[in-house]
Amino acid sequence: MSRLVIVCLLLALTACAVTSTSPPERELRVEASPERALAVGLDVMVERGFVIRMADTGLGRIDAVRAARPGYVVHYEVRETQSGTWLVVSGRRGTGIIEPHRFDPLLAEIAARLEATR
């Protein structure tokens, strides 16, 4: 009986250790097609030194990394809704999250380029 209790406790602790939450997101609505917003986002991220791990127009998503200590991973997503096109960015640095406000300069540059090319 005591072995069963110990095994259950270990399984419960293991489940808690592997459960991860999604990092908080920063969103910005733009006046552009999702395809254009994705392309401009890709250009800006490459110019800022990000290495693109995955860019999928069908998913409307870009996953990129940047070599820093500790390195960080950024997820850029374009969502099309009835209210327009939304840019959504989130990320992790090492084992922690990146505060959403840190993405404001990136989103501002993407929005400015989209506005300039309208």
Residue 102 covered by a domain: yes
**pTM for the whole thing?**
0.79
Q: Can you give the CATH number for the domain in which 51 is found?
A: 3.30.530.50
pLDDT digits (tens, 9 = 90+) for 8-44: 555 555 554 444 577 899 999 999 999 999 999 999 9
CA 106-108-110 angle, 5° bins: 70
pLDDT digits (tens, 9 = 90+) for 56-76: 999 999 999 987 777 889 999
Yes or no: say if 26 and 33 are a contact pair by the CB < 8 Å rule. no
Residue 18 covered by a domain: no
Residue 17 covered by a domain: no
